[in-house]
Every structure is written in C-alpha cells, then in structure tokens.
Structure 1
C-alpha cells in the first residue's frame, strides 16, 4: 500500500473528487496535436494556435473534470484559465522519442526541473515512459535508473509522481495489430509490476488497459484474440499486479469505446481509481478549430466535449474505486 506525506495527500485530493476518484483531462500532446491541427487547416496555425487550442480545452472542459494534465511548453497559459476546482498535473518528459535510436529512451525537458514545475502551480508531476519488459537488459536498466531519478526528485520536492507507462514490443512495429494484441497483456502487466517497486517512488500509475478491446469477443466485428472471459481475467490480473493507485489512459480510442471499456473493467473485478482521458474527450474538436476557427471549436466543446466528459463521469461513478482504500493509515490520512 502507498504511504503518503501530508503534502502529497493534499495534492492527490486536489486532483480527485470527494470520493478519491480521478477524472482528469489530458492535453499534454505536443507533436501529435500539431499534426492534428495542421491536417485540418488550410493555413499554418503555428505555436500560437496550439497554445490557444489548449486554453479552449482548459477553459471549457475543466469545470467538469477533477484535474487537467498539461505540458510546460505550450500548456502553461491554459493553467491560468482552468476551473478553480480542477487540480493540475504537468508533464516532465520530452514529447515522443527518437525513432532512429534503439530503445525509445526517455528524455527530460532540459529547461525544467520538478522544483520549477511545482512553482507553476502543479499538484503532481507526470512522466511518460515507453517500456518493453522483454527488451535488452541494458536498455531497461537505463530506464529503471532514469525513473529512480525522477521518483527521487519528486520525493525531494514532496509532490506526487504519476508514471505513465506505454507498452510496446521492440519486434512488432504496429501496436494496433493482432500480433501485438496477443502479447499486450504480458507487456502491460509486467511493466506495472516493475514500476510498483518502492525504489521508483511512484504514487500513481497511469496505464493502458491490459487488452486491445478491438480484439475482444463482442466488442469487434472482426477477428478476435480474446474471449470475454479471457479479457476479464487479464483485467483482474492487472489489478492484482500492483498495490498502488492506478488510472487508465484512453489511448486515442473513441469516447464510446473507452466508456464501455471502463464498464468491462469494473465487471471484471478491476480496482482502477479513475482516468486521465485525452483524445477520447476532445479530439473531434480539433477539426472545427483548424478549419473554422476558435468560436466553432468552442461551440463543439460546449456541446459534444461537455457531453463526452459528463457521460464519462457517470461511468466513473459506477465503475472506479477510491484510491483512499490503497493508502496506508487511511483512517488518519483521509480524514485529515
């Protein structure tokens, strides 16, 4: 179970609802968001356009979210217009990875430290790590040491450390393929076990669901990789793999499929503690922003974006477990 300082506990409460469930919005995308906007725009929008889009998301959608995840490169103006009731997570990693190098190695933003991120008003620091549990030992040891450093830095600044793990297989190019779907449960679950070890000082894991729902019986019209029973067993195994609070990322799937996935997780016995949901909530708001401008995008957020979050919140209320139950001495801490 997780042992929290008073400061970390207070910060996690600011990121959660009153029941200890995290319903956070993620818009720390940088390179991918640039491409999304550029694809729908006849004219270059530039950095100012990305900054403005993040501000719109923050302003319009944080009133319905417990927190927002932003990056310090383009997202800091959006921290100023978020709802006063929404907590703030800030990303610490450089976006993407060097596709020409072996190992998808992690890298920090050189202009930032945990101390400086905390000074922006962050309630927690998030780091994204690409991880293949079966990759060369030297590569994974490098990643282990790197995460020990980040965890120690967060502990020294007394701020929660959210570790986002994105799994892959060094020998499979397409993570959306049937081939990868077969190995995904092993990749996701073993990574969670590794980074639940105390030396990493992780407070909350942000993780993928353990299966590709597009290959689950009853959730696809195409080929299946898992029966419903097999998929449910993987969700239960994932939940048992850690004593830390963990939340799900949406991985770019549709809002509807993500909601169905959370319901399936609950039925399967998963004790997940919320979500950090990005593109599933706001991605369809990019097109009106890129083609028709700010007002068209704002109207999309006020109708469809709001609907996406409110529907997700209903599912979370029915499906997610409280992280209070995963805290040592929670009777004393949670009431403090």
Structure 2
C-alpha cells in the first residue's frame, strides 16, 4: 500500500464519489474534438460545447477533466460537488521524429494548474514498452520531472498511458490486438515504480474486445484468456487505476467494465470521455447549442447514469490502495 499526504487525500476525495470510486467525465480533447466539430470550428464554439457538457453532465459525475486551452470557462460551469482535473500536456505528440514524444503546454505548470483550482494534474504519455532504451529513458525522465513538480505542489498526479507499437501502424488491427495485453500491462508495471510519484494511473483495457470470444466476429482471445489478462492487469500495479473509454460506444464500455469485474479486476473507476458525449457533437455542429443541450439532458444524461450504475457494481474504492 502507498502512503499519501493529507492534502492529496483530500483532493482525491473531491475527485471521487462517496464510495471512493472515481466516476469522472473527460472532455480535455482538443485536436480530436476539433476534428469532430470540423476543422473550421472556432475557439468560441469549442469552449461553448465543453461548457455545455460541464454544466449538464457534472451533476452526475464525481469530477471532470478539462484542458487549459479551451476548458477553463467550462470548469467554472461544473456542479459544486464535482472535482476538477486539468491536463498538462499539449495535444497529440511530436511527429517530426520517432518515439511519439510528448510536450507540456508552455505557459502552464503544476503550480499554475493548482492555482486554477484543480484537484489533480493529468498528463498523457504514449508509450511502447518495447521501444529503444534511448527513447524510453527520455520518457521516464519526462514523467519523473512532472511527478516531482506534483510532489512539490502536493497535488495528485494522474498519469494517462496510451500504448502503441512502433512497428504496427494501426492499434485497432488484429496484429496489434495480439500484443496489446503485454503492451498495456507491462507499461503499468513500469510507471507504478515509486520514482515517478504517480498517484493514479489512467489506462486502457488490456485487450481489444472486438477480438474476444462472444464480443467480436473474429476470436483472438478466448473468454478465459481475456479474463486472465484483466486479472494480470490488476496485479500489475499497487496504485489506484481507472479505465479510459478510448472512443468506444457507451454500451461497449459498460460491457467491458462488467467483464473486468468478472475477471477480479480491482479497478477504481473511470475517466470516460467520448463514450458519454460524442454523439452530441454532431447535434451541436448541425443544430446549435439549444439542441445540443437537449441531447445532453436526455441521451447524454442517460449514458452517464447507465455508466454510474455499472461502476457502482464493479469498481472499488481508490482509498483501499493507500495507507
């Protein structure tokens, strides 16, 4: 079990529900959201949509994840009982060289994020456990620096890990599905080491459910094999960990959480983005804010309430993993 400071514990209590489970809403997307809205989408339009999501859906979420570039007005619209995470990374990654290197937003720091009223700092890292030592050592040092910043500010550090393979272009492919359990679970082992000062891991599910027996049209993993990968994932870390939805449908994400629970996974909640609100983007772009708000108040609310119902039955308190 990990030790945690009183300030970090209080911040995590703000981010979690009464059961100690993190049922957070993510809308820190920037490049991806702009693509969904159309490349000509203005700063004002993106800010407005994020604001609608925050205003309508945070009454049903324990916290919300936003970015400082478009999301700060939305932070002020969140429900009083909803905690706040703020993303520290630039959107995307460096495409000018191999390695998918990250970068930080140049005018932000853990100190400034905390000053905005955030309860936690979130950082996204693309990571291939099998990439060269030269590349991965740079990423290790990068995460250590952020961890040290968060320690200095006494603010929780949420590390979002997204796996890839430098030799496989399509992470949704059958080829990648074969190596995904190793990629996801082994990088969790790495970043659970104490030198990174991570407090909560935000991670992918360890398999591609489209290739699990009974879920997809083609079987790469039997049901038993897939259950075992979820169990191994849970055993790969002593940190609290939460699942990201990775753009799948609301129904598929909910099914996956039930499957994880069946496997004995001791996951501690979700940071769910597009699975909750993505269909509202088109409504907003085509029909405007009023119709988008109607969609969020009906289908968006139904999505998040259905997810909360599943989380209540499947996730466990993050505080079980702290002294």
Same fold at TM > 0.5: yes
Decide which moves more: 199-208 or 45-54: 45-54
1:81 deviates by: 0.4
1:100 deviates by: 3.2
Q: 2:89 aligns with which of 81, 93, 96?
A: 93
- Residue 178 of structure 1: aligned partner: 174
Cα distance in 1 for residues equivalent to 2:199 and 2:11:
11
- Residue 9 of structure 1: aligned partner: 9
Cα distance in 1 for residues equivalent to 2:63 and 2:314:
19
Cα distance in 2 for residues equivalent to 1:121 and 1:227:
46
- Residue 124 of structure 2: aligned partner: 128
1:99 deviates by: 2.4
Q: Alpha-carbon deviations, 1:60-81, whole Å to 9, x = none?
A: 0000000000000000000000
Q: Alpha-carbon deviations, 1:63-120, whole Å to 9, x = none?
A: 0000000000000000000000000000000000122321000110010000000000
Cα distance in 2 for residues equivalent to 1:57 and 1:227:
38
| TM-score with structure 2 setting the length | 0.99
Q: 1:233 aligns with which of 224, 228, 232?
A: 228
1:180 deviates by: 0.3
- Residue 188 of structure 2: aligned partner: 192
Q: 2:311 aligns with which of 312, 316, 323?
A: 316
Query: Is the aligned partner of 1:56 residue 2:52?
Result: yes
Q: Alpha-carbon deviations, 1:212-252, whole Å to 9, x = none?
A: 111101011x2111010000000000000000000000000
- Residue 255 of structure 1: aligned partner: 250
- Residue 71 of structure 2: aligned partner: 75
SS in 2 for 1:164: strand
1:2 deviates by: 1.8
Query: Is the aligned partner of 1:107 residue 2:103?
Result: yes
Cα distance in 2 for residues equivalent to 1:117 and 1:326:
25
| TM-score with structure 1 setting the length | 0.95
- Residue 25 of structure 1: aligned partner: 25
Q: 1:211 aligns with which of 207, 211, 222?
A: 207
Q: List aligned pairs for 1:127-146, cutoff 5 A.
A: 127-146=123-142
Cα distance in 2 for residues equivalent to 1:266 and 1:214:
18
1:269 deviates by: 0.5
Cα distance in 2 for residues equivalent to 1:62 and 1:154:
25
Q: Is the 8 A contact 2:94 2:102 kept in 1?
A: no
Cα distance in 1 for residues equivalent to 2:2 and 2:307:
27
- Residue 331 of structure 1: aligned partner: none
SS in 1 for 2:47: helix
Q: 1:155 aligns with which of 139, 142, 151?
A: 151
Query: Is the aligned partner of 1:284 residue 2:266?
Result: no
- Structure 1 alignment gaps of length 5 or more: 329-336
Cα distance in 2 for residues equivalent to 1:26 and 1:257:
17
1:45 deviates by: 3.2
SS in 2 for 1:206: strand
Q: Alpha-carbon deviations, 1:173-204, whole Å to 9, x = none?
A: 00000000000000000100000000000000
1:172 deviates by: 0.2
- Structure 2 alignment gaps of length 5 or more: none
